[in-house]
Chains A and B, each alone.
Chain A
């Protein structure tokens, strides 16, 4: 009986969004009378940071500072349509819709500015600081604040835009069954080192080394935050979490946080994150969906590491001491 060390590797391709009956998200953008921009969405921020990312995307597209943008996700009854923030689709789908809406709003904004400055709208550019300038003659300029006031109180124009991003439904080809379930994939590879006690079946994760390819990181610190948390969650799925440990038998399922196991701050493996940015062709500013992807490769990597350590294949999650000991017993019997 001994503590045995193992190393496992796993790599994944993970689709951004889903494709059942088509996958749409709608966004509406309008300016307030003072030149701030409101983005109306039904896409919900549940902690992943969607509001921040949508504000960045809208600001970048219109050409204003991010703090001039407000994201309203208040009410799915009255807001525009979104399939929801799941399947790692929020940034990609809602972001594309926001770009489309913001482009339309920007065009109206430039048209109003052109009337005020008595120039052609195509000769105008934004400085990213809240002003519209004549290209090549930046001394001729107008603030977006004044443009919005003019649009509302003088010109009767609505600085607003509509966005709808749709990934259409993909049907399988009759002959081959081939289809295109997703247009955009994120990728990851994880190497895990574990120690397995072959007497108790207990697994200790020593190191988790992850490489994530996530398109362009629109907010690198928030990406890192999500990947670190996701890596931890992957280890948690691999070794700890389940609502039905003897599925389909419902007995012994955790009914509270004392019984539902997750690794706490004292159970952390040394974790490394490397981000590769390869901008996606159809993502907003090259982004992909890293959300769910980042919690997946750790699971097969842990299973492979356990196999490397003690020579048993556990194909049911989580990989509990009980399952390892039963597998070791079966192995010894053969």
Chain B
């Protein structure tokens, strides 16, 4: 099959790849570019583990074709830490013990980031709504909800 050139920025860095038509963004990120932070859980858009941020919106990379991402600004969990300092969401997930096996964690953090970008002071209901597309098998969700609320509070204190 003919390969298609695609260029986008990933966590602020320019990336250029040749992908076969029909290649998912998840596959391109993990197996071509080597960013394994998005996880392949169900590969059909039901678990949220592959969530990434494309042009500021939460997207399922397993349902997004890489060839449609030309010129896009793509963000993943692996790009959140700056100069070795964890993002407040990552810090909050650690402090709240909001991860066990860790497979859902990058997707949860992406979903939470988009929420906090749009709604800096979310209610518990806002957090539940934002995480409702992401499945976790281990934690029972409560520690994750608490982590997102804690990160939101930390952000608003820093902003104040």
Interface residues in chain A, defined as those with a beta carbon under 8 Å from any beta carbon in chain B = 46-49, 221-222, 224-226, 228-233, 256-258, 262, 264-266, 268, 271
Q: Does B140 make an interface contact (CB < 8 A)? A: yes
| Residue picked from B47, B129, B140, B145, most chain A C-beta under 10 Å | B140
| A221, B139: Cα distance in complex, Å | 13
> Are A271 and B141 closer than 8 Å at their CB atoms?
no
- Report the Cα distance A268→B141, complex, angstroms: 8
Known: A47-B100, A222-B97, A256-B42. A266 touches B135 (CB 8 A): no
Cβ of A264 and Cβ of B100 under 8 Å apart?
A: no
Asked if A256 and B46 sit within 8 Å, CB to CB, the answer is yes
For this complex, 20 residue pairs linking A to B, each with C-beta atoms less than 8 Å apart, are A46-B101, A47-B100, A47-B101, A49-B100, A225-B97, A229-B138, A229-B140, A229-B143, A231-B140, A232-B140, A232-B141, A232-B142, A233-B140, A256-B44, A256-B46, A262-B137, A264-B132, A265-B127, A265-B131, A268-B142
Measured between alpha carbons, how far is A75 from B102 in the docked complex, in Å? 21
Tell which of B44, B101, B103, B140 touches A268, judged by Cβ atoms closer than 8 Å.
B140
Bound form: Cα–Cα A256–B46 in Å = 8
B138 engages A265 (CB within 8 Å): no
**Closest chain A residue to B138, Cβ basis:** A229
Closest Cβ–Cβ distance, residue B122 to chain A (whole Å): 13
Number of interface residues of B (CB under 8 A): 24
Q: Is the CB of B100 within 8 A of A265?
A: no
Interface residue B6 (Cβ < 8 Å from any Cβ of A): no
Closest to B145 in A: A265
**Contact A226–B100 (Cβ < 8 Å):** yes
Contact of A229 with B128 in the complex, beta carbons under 8 Å: no
Residue B28 interfacial (CB < 8 Å): no
CA distance A268 to B146 in the complex (A): 13
Contacts of A268 in B (CB 8 A): 140-142
Contact A271 B142 (CB under 8 A): yes
Among candidates A229, A231, A271, residue contacting B100 with C-beta atoms closer than 8 Å: A229
Check if B53 is an interface residue, CB within 8 A of chain A. Answer: no
How far is A233 from B144 in the complex, measured between Cα atoms in Å?
15
Q: Name the B residues within 8 Å of A264 (CB-CB).
A: 132, 135, 141
**Pick the contact of A265 from B44, B97, B101, B128 — CB < 8 Å?**
B128
Distance in Å from the Cβ of B34 to the closest Cβ of chain A? Answer: 22
Are A262 and B101 in touch, CB under 8 angstroms?
no
- CB pair A47 B46 closer than 8 Å: no
Name the residue on A nearest B101 (C-beta): A47
Task: List, in ascending order, chain B residues with CB within 8 A of A271's CB.
Answer: 140, 142
Residue contact B128 to A266, C-beta cutoff 8 Å: yes
Residues of B within 8 A of A232 (CB): 139-142
Nearest Cβ distance between residue A279 and chain B, in whole angstroms? 23
Q: Complex formed: what's the CA distance from A231 to B127 in Å?
A: 21
Given A47-B102, A265-B131: A257 touches B46 (CB 8 Å cut-off): yes
* Interchain CA distance A222-B100 in the complex, whole Å: 9
Q: Roughly how many angstroms separate A46 CA and B102 CA in the complex, as a whole number? A: 9
CA distance A302 to B155 in the complex (A): 40
